[in-house]
Amino acid sequence: MEAMSLPGPRKHALITGAGNGLGRSLALNLGARGWHIGIADLEPADAAETRRLVEQAGGTAEFLPLDVRDEAGWADLRSELERRWRRLDLLANNAGVSCSGEVGQSSMETGTGCSRSTCGGSFWAATRWWTG
């Protein structure tokens, strides 16, 4: 983690699912090192709490509403951040949902929703961020 605290201009991280759990932990860790955090999440109240904690730790943060399953949302976010941020140093595609249940007992809708969040979000992030 020492490489993430090198001196120089403020670094920028976009973290999906940063409203809670592992995403929030990563945001706080980077915030304590002075990073600016883009909190990409669906829940404004969770994002507000993460922002408060990041700022308390010494970083800066902003809420970026994003449904990782939405291809157009990724394209819009990229366009917005290209205008406002001078760079993106880290994209942590953390958002996802877990599903549980017995095989044959879960609905196709449940499985598809889990897949679209966890796998689809990674796909859209990669294809829309790096390829435009």
Residue type, 113: G
In this prediction, residue 120 carries a pLDDT of 59
Per-residue model confidence as pLDDT tens for the chain (132 residues): 344 444 568 899 999 999 999 999 999 999 999 999 999 999 999 999 999 999 999 999 999 999 888 888 888 999 999 899 988 999 998 876 666 666 667 665 655 555 555 555 666 666 666 655
User: Is position 3 within any domain?
Assistant: no
Q: What is the per-residue DSSP string for the chain?
A: -GGGG-SSSPPEEEEETTTSHHHHHHHHHHHTTT-EEEEEES-HHHHHHHHHHHHHHT-EEEEEE--TT-HHHHHHHHHHHHHH-S---EEEE---------TTTS-HHHHHHHHIIIIIHHHHHHHHHH--
Whole domain around residue 31: which residue ranges?
8-130
Is residue 83 domain-resident?
yes
Q: Give the CB-side neighbour count of residue 118, counting CA atoms within 13 A.
A: 10
Asked if 128 contacts 75 with a C-beta cutoff of 8 angstroms, the reply is yes
In a domain, 2, yes or no: no
Count: domains in the chain: 1
Domain annotation covers residue 27: yes
> Measured in whole angstroms, how far is the alpha carbon of residue 52 from the centre of its chain?
16
CATH number at residue 64: 3.40.50.720
CA distance 121 to 86: 24
